[in-house]
Structure 1
Amino acid sequence: MSEQELKEQVINTIANHKTGVLSSVENNKPHTRYMTFYNEDLTLFTPTKLDTEKVDEIKNNPNVAVLIGYEGNGIGDTYVEITGTSTINKSQEVKERFWEESFNKWFEGPNDPNYVFLEIQPETVRILNDHGEAPKELHM
């Protein structure tokens, strides 16, 4: 499989599964939770409140891991593992681009100062469990 085909497979997997698992570091241990992800050329964005512990964790240690794509059906469930670093993105442009009405449960709107995004820059991207094949790594 070419690098371009592998990248397309990763992008398609992410596009078809907005919900994934984000792991950050808390007290030198993994801290994991489900999040909603948006993808722009393998840079991931996930909305959060500015006043959450995950934001504090990222400020203290920007290393994160994301798992996205697994559906629970077994050996044929391809999923993506991304490791990288995260920053807090307060950009109004990003907040408006990804705003969804369902966010109204947590935020007052796209101008809410507590509404921010974690921006995840990938360092390692792997396709796992692709019909039982060995993991494939996309070179970043």
Structure 2
Amino acid sequence: MNGNYFLDTNILVYSFDSTFPAKQAEALRLIKNALHGGKGVISSQVVQEFINVATKKFDVPFSLQDCRKYFDTVLAGLCRVFSSLDLYKQALDIMERWGYSHYDSLIIAAALQADCEVLYSEELHHHQKIQGLTIIDPFRK
């Protein structure tokens, strides 16, 4: 392992959610560290999910210009795992072994392919270890 960590989509989404100031602050901290430290990773799935949420579910939806700006300044710099047949096969193995949904399994598989030590996500099992990867809910007190 190389100290890399993976940011699930919900981390990026919370960085824009002022309804939960503590979560927003933690999300912003994680993203800033990811960009400046070079250890943060996302996958193409996270890019797709974030743009979908930002354009459809934000209180003030992102425009295409907003999407392009965020893509250029944040998403593109962190995106290092892309869909592949190996990723899908690994996700199926994770589904079978640990019972996660297909999309959650793809996130876990992407984190493993990026050789991450930690996967930050609010929606998975806090402190679970999968093949050397530890899932952490950064918002949990």
- Which structure carries more helix by proportion? 2
TM-score by length of 2: 0.28
Q: Which has the larger radius of gyration?
A: 1
- Which structure carries more strand by proportion? 1
Question: Which structure's relative contact order is higher, taking Cα pairs within 8 Å and 6+ residues apart?
Answer: 2
TM-score by length of 1: 0.28
